[in-house]
Structure 1
Amino acid sequence: MTINRRSVLLTAAALAFTASAATAQDYKSKYPELTFAVVPAENASGVTERWSPFVAYLSKELGVKVNLRIANDYAAVIEGQRAGNIQLASYGSASFARARLTGVKTEAFANDINKDGSTGYYSVFFVKASSPYKSIDEMKGKNLGLVDPNSTSGNNVPRFELDKMGISDAEGYFGKVVFTGSHENAILALAQGTVDIAANQWTNDNDSTLAQMLNKGMLKNADGSAMKKEDFRIVHKSAPVINGPYAYNADLPEDLKTAIAKAFLDAPTKGKAAFDRLSDGQKQGFHAATTKDWDGTIELIRFVDALRKKKAS
């Protein structure tokens, strides 16, 4: 049999195609479905409406079904990734740091780019504008609403900020400290008078949980009229905090990781309608990130853990 250069090249091309097809088939056969977990910053129906088109876009781009899981809290996301039941997750900065500190094999690959081009936000303390309070110094004995123990803007950064003010024991300083369960619930508790001050996330006046809730008409005065931005006042704002990451399980096949990251980065153009619904006009797109980008947040979590241990001793 005569073997010429053309037949060698054709054979090599065929083998390369077969190998490529096999690689693509490998991750699809091993992961015919993926679970993407998010923690609700709003009510469950709002989360579903916001995320479902984007999850459908991911399914199309990856060639496997992506299921949306609305987790009860950050701990559920952490433990789900630890067990391998969740392959892809939207984390807050603190919850991602907590996952890493407790041995979860998770890797960050992207985070949000804000409308102004930045990739961070702030933790703020809100009060109602009708209240007399202008600073946290005036609020000893009042009720504080937090979000979740693993929330960055709703617990960890607030405790760090309070410590800088000389308040290392929030529970001892405030009359009551309550975890409301979500960013929306913290704002609702403040609006309804259940708490006097609430911690929350804030990028600017038009990009925050409060802004989203006001746009939806979710906040009402006692007479039933709609509340406005002017009905709330920020009494303290933290230093900038890096936007939380999107992360996948570290042991996913490399080609699947690459495909996931590409799908996110391509979304603003390739899946524009889904991205626009997800971002609500407040984000430019996704920024390519690495796990090390959240090393500073790990130090924050260690600091807050030390505060907790000091209080317990």
Structure 2
Amino acid sequence: MLTRRHTLKLAAAGLAVAATPAFAQDWKAKYPELVFAIIPAENASGVVDRYTPFVNYLSKELGTKVTLRVANDYAAIIEGQRAGNIQIGMYGPASFARARVTGVKVDAFAIETNLDGTKGYHSVFYVKKDSPYQKIEDLKGKNLGLVDPNSTSGNNVPRFVLDKMKIDPETFFSKVVYTGSHENAIIALQQGTVDVAANWWNDENESNLLRMARKNMAKAEDFRIIYKSEQIVNSPMAYLSDLPEDLKAKIRDAVLNLATKDKAAFDKIYEGKQGPLVAVDNKAYDPVIELITFVDSLRKKKSS
């Protein structure tokens, strides 16, 4: 026998079920288009080629249009999320930390992994293979190539390690050049614009240089590493904190299952050289916040 209490429970359940599609439509009405943006780690055409299948997959999974945007520089993705114009961003660790410390309401939800399951990479200094330089100290008066002020492996970690060596880049080197991307840093070294260049390096299987070699943009054997940092926490994907919870859940589910649900799209990004994206939270990047805060303090000391 159905009591009044049972009837009310069933009615409430029916209302909940009925409300779900309408609730989903609420965020689709507010977000008829979502923007996924990524920092310019390589040239724009390379990013578009690498990430277009992923954006198409995300659009299909979410049931709404997702547009790919390649940021002009690292700061552009930070400011785009601050303004609410970019709902999902693929950051570097330092640029994500910068977003957090400058008040952008954004949360990390997925992190890249390596084939061995680790979640980190390294900053390295490259020189040409045939150059006489064996260590950083040999490059006094030469030109240093960095990537972007908000790059982890291309600026913040290099400045941190140089400080530990008692080296002030602006006085030790003849010139410090920001190249704008990791690829451009290698090209600047290749062309002789700089004598040493900072870059990212995962392991012997993957690095920016190896990616460039696969695209016939450089020969990996033409360069050698003279310094490798300790491991840095891998790059995060992050969404706006104030997105509807059901939308964030759908984004998380789609991204964390990319490697199995659309292996072709996943392989297009990582070319079989990295593991699946896994869950992460903001706390993982607290050490990077400490890093950029330290680098900021160095800059303030020099300007004072």
Question: TM-score range with shorter-chain normalisation?
Answer: over 0.9
The answer to whether the 8 Å contact 1:61/1:263 transfers is yes
Look up the SS of the partner of 2:257 in the other structure.
helix
The gaps in structure 1 that reach 5 residues or longer are 220-226
The answer to whether the 8 Å contact 1:123/1:154 transfers is yes
The answer to whether the 8 Å contact 1:73/1:148 transfers is yes
How far off its partner does 1:231 sit?
Answer: 1.7
Q: Which residue does 1:92 correspond to in 2?
A: 92
The answer to whether the 8 Å contact 2:40/2:74 transfers is no
- Confirm whether residue 192 of structure 1 aligns to residue 191 of structure 2: yes
Look up the SS of the partner of 1:311 in the other structure.
helix
Q: Which residue does 2:33 correspond to in 1?
A: 33
CA distance in 2, matches of 1:138, 1:113: 34
Q: Which residue does 1:24 correspond to in 2?
A: 24
Q: Which residue does 1:176 correspond to in 2?
A: 175
CA distance in 2, matches of 1:63, 1:236: 46
Q: What aligned pairs does 1:76-155 form with structure 2 within 5 A after superposition?
A: 76-155=76-155
CA distance in 1, matches of 2:294, 2:12: 57
CA distance in 2, matches of 1:256, 1:6: 32
How far off its partner does 1:54 sit?
Answer: 0.2
Look up the SS of the partner of 1:42 in the other structure.
coil
- Confirm whether residue 61 of structure 1 aligns to residue 61 of structure 2: yes
CA distance in 1, matches of 2:46, 2:276: 20
Query: 4+ runs of 1 displaced by more than 4 Å?
Result: 2-10
- Confirm whether residue 209 of structure 1 aligns to residue 247 of structure 2: no
- Confirm whether residue 237 of structure 1 aligns to residue 228 of structure 2: yes
Q: Which residue does 1:254 correspond to in 2?
A: 245
CA distance in 1, matches of 2:26, 2:174: 57
Q: Which residue does 1:224 correspond to in 2?
A: none
The gaps in structure 2 that reach 5 residues or longer are none
The answer to whether the 8 Å contact 1:42/1:184 transfers is yes
Q: Which residue does 1:294 correspond to in 2?
A: 285
> What is the one-letter code of the residue matched to 1:297?
V
> What is the one-letter code of the residue matched to 1:214?
A
Look up the SS of the partner of 2:189 in the other structure.
helix
CA distance in 1, matches of 2:97, 2:16: 40
Identity score, percent: 63
Q: Which segment drifts farther, 200-209 or 138-147? A: 200-209
Q: What do residues 173-194 of structure 1 show as CA deviations (whole Å, max 9, x unaligned)? A: 0011000000000001111111
> CA 1:236–1:20 in structure 2 vs 1: closer, same or farther (change >3 Å)?
same
- Confirm whether residue 306 of structure 1 aligns to residue 294 of structure 2: no
- Confirm whether residue 277 of structure 1 aligns to residue 268 of structure 2: yes
Look up the SS of the partner of 2:111 in the other structure.
strand
The answer to whether the 8 Å contact 1:36/1:68 transfers is yes
Look up the SS of the partner of 1:130 in the other structure.
coil
How far off its partner does 1:40 sit?
Answer: 2.1
Q: What do residues 213-262 of structure 1 show as CA deviations (whole Å, max 9, x unaligned)? A: 1111112xxxxxxx3x3221111111100011100011111111111111
Q: Which segment drifts farther, 147-156 or 18-27? A: 18-27
How far off its partner does 1:11 sit?
Answer: 3.1
> What is the one-letter code of the residue matched to 1:184?
E
Q: What do residues 96-153 of structure 1 show as CA deviations (whole Å, max 9, x unaligned)? A: 1111111111111011011121110000000011000000011100100000010000
RMSD: 1.5
TM-score (norm 1): 0.93
CA distance in 1, matches of 2:269, 2:38: 12
> What is the one-letter code of the residue matched to 2:76?
A
The answer to whether the 8 Å contact 1:87/1:249 transfers is yes
TM-score (norm 2): 0.96
Look up the SS of the partner of 2:134 in the other structure.
coil
> CA 1:106–1:140 in structure 2 vs 1: closer, same or farther (change >3 Å)?
same
Look up the SS of the partner of 2:180 in the other structure.
coil
The answer to whether the 8 Å contact 1:207/1:282 transfers is yes
CA distance in 2, matches of 1:149, 1:70: 17
CA distance in 2, matches of 1:301, 1:8: 56
Q: What aligned pairs does 1:148-163 form with structure 2 within 5 A after superposition?
A: 148-163=148-163
The answer to whether the 8 Å contact 1:55/1:66 transfers is yes
Look up the SS of the partner of 1:195 in the other structure.
coil
CA distance in 2, matches of 1:263, 1:25: 18
CA distance in 2, matches of 1:213, 1:21: 46
Q: What do residues 238-296 of structure 1 show as CA deviations (whole Å, max 9, x unaligned)? A: 11000111000111111111111111111111111111111111121111000111011
